Amino acid sequence: MKTRPAPSMLAALALLVSSTAIASPVIHQEPAGTLYDPMTEFVVDTRSNTAWVSLYAFRTFSEDPYLRRITVNGLRYDPAAGQVMLATAGGEVACGSVARRGVGPFKTTHVVPSGKCELSAVIDERGSRNPSLTVRLVAAG
């Protein structure tokens, strides 16, 4: 006798199949240790036309922040368009536009998110003996 999945399982599966989002694999994972309040952002080097993700977090009992540069396959800076692009199975998605902010010699380069890519960093404390820090990148197709 065949069993049918519960209706909620069918609804979840239908949502997953009909979704237009293309999820890249987890781009970084490590033990969280004493880290808390992680933040991520896209960063570019306009001289070398490269792009990456920066991970920032605070450490318990330390004034020094935790910083990590994460290289992502398929993530690049397009100097002609002035955008950070992510290659996906459905083509390239513009994750953000590069802008210069500030005054005079204090101008710095920033990536303004386009809303087409979701970059997140989460500390999973389930089982709290070994919490893990996971960074994900999801792009709309």
Per the domain annotation, does 61 fall within a domain? yes
C-alpha span between 36 and 57 (Å, rounded): 6
In a domain, 10, yes or no: no
- The confidence score (pLDDT) of residue 16 equals 33
**Structure tokens belonging to residue 25:** 């694999």
- Find the mean pLDDT for residues 80-101: 94
Cα torsion 18, 20, 24, 30: sign: negative
Would you say the pTM of this structure is higher than 0.85?
no
Query: How confident is residue 139, by pLDDT bands cut at 50, 70 and 90?
Result: confident
Band (pLDDT 50/70/90 cuts) for residue 94 is very high
Condensed to tens digits (0 to 9), the pLDDT of residues 97-123 reads 999 888 988 989 999 999 999 999 999
Q: Which domain holds residue 97?
A: 21-140
Residue 8 resides in a domain: no
Go through 33-68 and write b for each residue having 16 or more CB atoms within 10 A of its CB, e for each that does not: eebeebebebbbeeeeeebbbebebeeeeeeeebeb
**Lowest-confidence pick of 14-18, 77-81, 99-103, 121-125:** 14-18
Two structure tokens written together for 35: 């880290």
Q: Is 11 a domain residue?
A: no
**In a domain? residue 111:** yes
Q: Is residue 124 part of a domain?
A: yes
Q: Are 92 and 98 in contact (CB under 8 A)?
A: no
Count up the domains in the chain and report the number.
1
Residue 1 lies in a domain: no
Mean pLDDT of the chain: 82
